[in-house]
Copies of this chain bind each other. A is one copy, B any other.
Amino acid sequence: MSASTPLRVVIIGAGFGGLEAARALARAPAEVTLIDRHNHHLFQPLLYQVATAALSPGDIAWPVRTIFRRQRNVRVMMAEVTGIDTAAREVSAGPGLRVPYDALVLATGATHSYFGRDDWAPVAPGLKTIEDATDIRRRLLLAFERAELTEDEAERRRLLTFAVIGGGPTGVELAGAMAELARHAMPREFRRIDPAMARIVLIEAGPRLLPSFPEELGAKARQSLERMGVQVLTGLRVTGCDATGIDCGEERIAASTIVWAAGVVASPVGAWIGAERDRAGRIKVGPDLSVPGRGDIFALGDTATVTDAKGRPVPGNAPAAKQMGQYVGRLLAARAAGQAEPAPFRYRHHGDLATIGRRSAVVELGRIRLTGLVGWWFWGLAHVWYLIGFRSRVVVSFEWLWSYLTFQRGARLITGREPKGGNATPVPGQARALEKV
């Protein structure tokens, strides 16, 4: 590639990784095309707050175009990629739409995995997109409304039982936020039911919560949740899910609302290019994040699996996706300019954090561990800081302050039609841990 012809870079996915890759190419002699099937970038770490009515969708999502309006070498396309022709070096995105590339970046993220039980998806939706979040919000709020109407005591108990499957950060944060909603935001508003009597069950197949965090923080999270009234069931494997509840072997939990936070699988983009993948569908990439045998295709974030220069597997969270995106963007900028490409990718772990409802969070920053109120403040500041744009920082700060002072929720709307089940198409990568300290 001569330095006088711009390098045509196509990036699929406007999640944390894709966004950083495009940004890192800002001053490079490159023509960047960023394709996403949504018009917005989503700040997924706060999606559970939309699902529990604390924030509005518009607070945590921004049009991708707005983000890149000043970076003139980026063209944003809202389109669904339907195939990749690696021989012709073209991406297909619907009828008649073919986008040629010199370099291709796959940043299409992951979606829920039901471990072969996709029939559970309609009754146990996962939380990946805004539509998922407003769907879960509708289910949650409708359950309270229906409990207020029914005369049947057993049905009322079932309606007020909410189950979260999966004890990772998403499951822990969701269960905590549900307990908050029931205990603090709803009381005094109903006349027949007491929303504080809602039963929230968090089910984890493994022996403890937050398996990716230090053991001490997992125990602390369990303690906080139990103090909020969440029933934490570890070592319990779900064997069945239907519209009225969950089976865990012999045990039956009658529940109105089930949320799936137990597993993810990479988007199918790896299969399209015939790349080698691990069991979770992630492409096994080389130390420069390129697909082995194809120096012009890169994969990152939840689409890729890689062991970094120090021999440790890179985790599937937002900071890792951002670092990988920055790395690939810099590599391609060097390539476009005809300069030497950088040394292999190295992941910098800055910490992990998760919040558990009102005034409690667990934070791990290397040797520093924060819990309780201090952890919660740190968590809040870090998340507000990483929200994109001044406007959302101000709105989210205000919404949180308001909820904190009044116990009310700002977005308690039941919208859309009746529950219609989960979403099983690829979306930008999941994000969880802490970016920088």
A residues near B (Cβ < 8 Å) are 38-40, 56-59, 61, 63, 65-66, 68-70, 75-79, 96-97, 130-131, 134, 141-142, 145, 148-149, 151, 188-191, 391, 394-395, 398-399, 402, 406, 408, 410-417
Contact = CB atoms under 8 A, between A and B. Distances in A.
A61 B411 CA distance: 8
B79 A413 contact: no
Main DSSP-derived SS at the A contact region: mixed
A189 B68 CA distance: 7
Contacts of A399: 395
Contact of A410 (B58, B131, B190): B58
A57 B70 CA distance: 29
A415 B130 contact: yes
A379 to B, nearest CB: 23
Contacts of A70: 188
22 contacts: A39-B412, A39-B414, A40-B414, A56-B57, A56-B58, A58-B410, A58-B411, A58-B413, A61-B413, A63-B412, A66-B189, A66-B408, A77-B149, A78-B149, A96-B151, A97-B149, A131-B417, A134-B415, A391-B402, A395-B395, A395-B398, A416-B416
A79 B149 contact: yes
A76 B192 CA distance: 10
Contacts of A402: 391
A62 to B, nearest CB: 8
Contact of A189 (B40, B63, B96, B416): B63
A189 B414 contact: no
B190 A65 contact: yes
Contacts of A75: 191
A38 B394 contact: no
Nearest 4 Cβ contacts at the A-B interface: A58-B411, A65-B189, A56-B58, A78-B145
Contacts of A414: 38-40, 78
Given A56-B59, A69-B188, A394-B398, 15 more contacts: A39-B145, A39-B413, A40-B413, A56-B57, A58-B411, A58-B413, A68-B189, A77-B148, A77-B149, A78-B145, A78-B414, A131-B415, A131-B417, A391-B408, A395-B398
Given A69-B188, A189-B66, A391 B413 contact: no
Contacts of A189: 63, 65-66, 68-69, 76
A91 to B, nearest CB: 13
A131 B75 CA distance: 31
Contacts of A66: 189, 408, 412
Contacts of A412: 39-40, 63, 66
A391 B410 contact: yes
Contacts of A96: 151
A97 B151 CA distance: 9
Nearest to A53: B58
Which of A58, A149, A395 has the most chain B CB atoms closer than 10 A to its own CB? A58
A190 B65 CA distance: 7
A57 B415 contact: yes
A97 B192 CA distance: 15
A112 B201 CA distance: 44
Contacts of A148: 77-78
